């Protein structure tokens, strides 16, 4: 029932953020973070952030999902882990696109952005699908009894936080867009885990 509680908490956070950003002008915390970032940009950090943000893009996560699914099937004759990861990524993509259209929050001013960004701002798609992908990878590793789980958890958290930070740094999203993406991705992964996929993955090899 832990997954249910986590999912509920994430949904509460996400809905609260969605209501606030839909009914308010630019939040002071968003403007403060964007201003601070703009004052601390450098060419080296910008290059690094452009590379990091790529890790949260569909161009990386969708092929990675396919490669991992094929790997698990070829080496372990197990399609369930791949299906779980695919459901996480595809579902998160559908959810963030839905809520972007509902909230219709404008992105940060183009003058503050390092690049050209279209579509609505809340929630951050990169943050949402990155959270969904890497958190589900951790869940799959946990359910399969993989070693070094604490290290894997730290690595997952580092990548997800770095991708979110890159979206703010590049001026693609407000700070609360990224928080909303994390909450939505976490809610979806927890919901999938609570919905019975955990039981499927724990089935004995003869049942797979």
Burial class of residue 43, CB neighbours in 10 A (0-12, 13-18, 19+):
exposed
Please give the domain boundaries of the chain with CATH numbers for all domains: 2-207 (1.20.144)
Each residue's pLDDT, cut to its tens digit, for the chain (208 residues) gives: 788 899 999 999 999 999 999 988 789 999 999 999 999 999 999 999 999 999 999 999 999 999 999 988 888 777 888 888 999 999 999 999 999 999 999 999 998 899 888 889 999 999 999 999 999 999 888 877 777 888 888 999 999 999 999 999 999 999 999 999 999 999 999 999 887 655 555 554 444 4
* Per-residue pLDDT tens digits for 168-192: 999 999 999 999 999 999 999 999 9
The 10 Å Cβ neighbour count of residue 27 is 15
The residues near 36 (Cβ < 8 Å, ≥ 6 apart) are: none
Please answer whether residues 149 and 142 qualify as being in contact, where contact means their C-beta atoms are separated by less than 8 angstroms.
yes
Of 121, 125, 95, the closest CA to residue 21 belongs to 121
Q: Where are the alpha helices (DSSP H) in the chain?
A: 2-23, 28-39, 43-54, 58-76, 80-103, 125-143, 149-169, 175-192, 198-201
pTM score, whole prediction = 0.90
Please answer whether residues 156 and 141 qualify as being in contact, where contact means their C-beta atoms are separated by less than 8 angstroms.
no
Of 7, 89, 104, the closest CA to residue 56 belongs to 89
Please answer whether residues 139 and 193 qualify as being in contact, where contact means their C-beta atoms are separated by less than 8 angstroms.
yes
Please answer whether residues 167 and 178 qualify as being in contact, where contact means their C-beta atoms are separated by less than 8 angstroms.
yes
């Amino acid at each position: 029932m832990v997954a249910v509680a986590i999912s509920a908490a994430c949904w509460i956070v996400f809905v609260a953020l969605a209501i606030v950003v839909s009914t308010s002008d630019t939040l002071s915390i968003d403007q403060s973070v964007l201003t601070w970032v703009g004052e601390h940009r450098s060419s080296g950090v910008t290059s690094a952030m452009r590379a990091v943000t790529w890790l949260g893009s569909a161009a990386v996560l969708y092929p990675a999902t396919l490669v991992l699914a094929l790997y698990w099937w070829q080496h372990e004759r197990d399609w369930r882990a791949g299906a779980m990861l695919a459901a996480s990524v595809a579902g998160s993509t559908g959810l963030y696109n839905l809520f972007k259209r509902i909230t219709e929050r404008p992105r940060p001013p183009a003058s503050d952005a390092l690049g050209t960004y279209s579509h609505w701002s809340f929630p951050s798609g990169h943050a949402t699908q990155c959270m969904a992908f890497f958190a589900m990878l951790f869940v799959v590793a946990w359910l399969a009894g993989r070693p070094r789980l604490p290290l894997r958890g730290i690595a997952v958290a580092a990548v997800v936080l770095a991708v979110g930070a890159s979206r703010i740094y590049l001026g693609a999203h407000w700070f609360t867009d990224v928080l909303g993406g994390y909450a939505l991705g976490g809610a979806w992964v927890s919901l999938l885990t609570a919905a019975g996929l955990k039981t499927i993955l724990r089935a004995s090899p003869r049942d797979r």
